[in-house]
Amino acid sequence: MTILVTAASGHLGRLTIDALLARGVSASEIVAGARTPSKVADLADHGVRTVELDYSVPASIASALDGIDTVLLISGSEPGKRAEGHKNVIDAARTANVAKLVYTSAPKATTVDWVLAPDHRATEEALAASGVPFVVLRNNWYVENFTGLVLGAAESGVITASVGDGRVASATRQDFAEAAAVVLTEDGHLGKVYELGGDIAWDYDELAAAASDVLHRAVSYVPVTAADHLSALEAAGTDAGTAGFLVAVDGAIAQGVLADTDGTLSRLIGRPTTPLRDGLRADIALKQS
């Protein structure tokens, strides 16, 4: 079995390669695809083959898939512009007769109309129509997504958001990477759509409490309306498009889009998911090292 990990220069891609190696997959059976191969050159030093793979360049995808049995398609990073590139990978996987394609999607991508859903819904629909054997991993929010908010509170003592009393079943990138490694290497997952989240769904008061512990200072959560949140972000210099996106994500959290947790992630990885405090503490230490 030869496994191609796309977007291997990103955090999730690298952690998945580490998790594959930890599961006993030989480095010679792993291929790291990246738009800029020089960014994964260090993996080549450890026996992992590296290839150029750009979602927007079909020829690079076809070349990267040569001899590949299994693919991890990590979703692109630019909301609203991802579906076409994902479909390029899916089309190439069909042509290459790939035996399994694992795709990292978003929570409730086909059942709730929220800001991140369209790209992922289109990708899942393309997968279902392609005939390529697939597994969908609908990853909840990464704990690491909240590090910026927490570090911002180190000075202000405040976390401001328009999520109301919404909850988030977050887990660390490491948790999700281990789940990807499991479904890439195990039988019995084809055709499954997994909603993956942490064991505990927390609210923003609990996020503020975790920040207080990690920062060793009092932090409180200050809820605001979506309109006030948008105004505050723009006043702080956030461009209108980004500000609108952030407020829309908060709105989805308020609606409960990220709140579900049924233990699927911890069952896949064979251990409890990483607690919020531990994940924040580790990521902040990494960023400050």
DSSP 13-49: HHHHHHHHHHTT--GGGEEEEESSGGGGHHHHTTT-E
Residue 104 has pLDDT above 80, yes or no: yes
pLDDT band at 272 (very low <50, low <70, confident <90, very high): very high
In this structure, the answer to whether residues 18 and 129 fall within a common structural domain is yes
In this structure, the answer to whether residues 210 and 112 fall within a common structural domain is no
Percent of residues, the chain, with pLDDT higher than 70: 100
| Structural domain that includes position 206 | 140-171+197-260+271-289
In this structure, the answer to whether residues 221 and 132 fall within a common structural domain is no
What is the average per-residue pLDDT within 199-215? 98
Residue 62 has pLDDT above 90, yes or no: yes
Q: How many domains does the chain have?
A: 2
Determine, yes or no, domain membership for 188.
no
In this structure, the answer to whether residues 124 and 151 fall within a common structural domain is no
What is the average per-residue pLDDT within 253-264? 96
CA distance 120 to 252: 15
What is the average per-residue pLDDT within 108-131? 96
Closest CA to 265 of 100, 135, 138: 138
Helix or strand or coil: residue 61?
helix
Determine, yes or no, domain membership for 95.
yes
Residue 179 has pLDDT above 90, yes or no: yes
What's 219's domain CATH number? 3.90.25.10
Determine, yes or no, domain membership for 180.
no
In this structure, the answer to whether residues 146 and 288 fall within a common structural domain is yes
- Domain end point (choices 96, 124, 139): 139
In this structure, the answer to whether residues 70 and 165 fall within a common structural domain is no
In this structure, the answer to whether residues 157 and 55 fall within a common structural domain is no
In this structure, the answer to whether residues 207 and 288 fall within a common structural domain is yes
Residue 79 has pLDDT above 80, yes or no: no
What's 39's domain CATH number? 3.40.50.720
- Whole-structure pTM value: 0.96
Percent of residues, the chain, with pLDDT higher than 90: 96
In this structure, the answer to whether residues 135 and 147 fall within a common structural domain is no
What is the average per-residue pLDDT within 41-52? 94
Residue 139 has pLDDT above 80, yes or no: yes
CA distance 85 to 56: 5
Determine, yes or no, domain membership for 86.
yes
In this structure, the answer to whether residues 98 and 29 fall within a common structural domain is yes
Using CA atoms in the order 260, 244, 204, 275, what is the torsion angle rounded to 10 degrees? 60
Determine, yes or no, domain membership for 189.
no
In this structure, the answer to whether residues 130 and 207 fall within a common structural domain is no
Determine, yes or no, domain membership for 186.
no
Determine, yes or no, domain membership for 34.
yes
In this structure, the answer to whether residues 282 and 162 fall within a common structural domain is yes
pLDDT band at 41 (very low <50, low <70, confident <90, very high): very high
Q: What DSSP character marks residue 171? A: B
Determine, yes or no, domain membership for 156.
yes
- Domain end point (choices 139, 158, 189): 139
Residue 117 has pLDDT above 80, yes or no: yes
- Domain end point (choices 96, 115, 139): 139
Q: What DSSP character marks residue 237? A: T
Residue 210 has pLDDT above 90, yes or no: yes
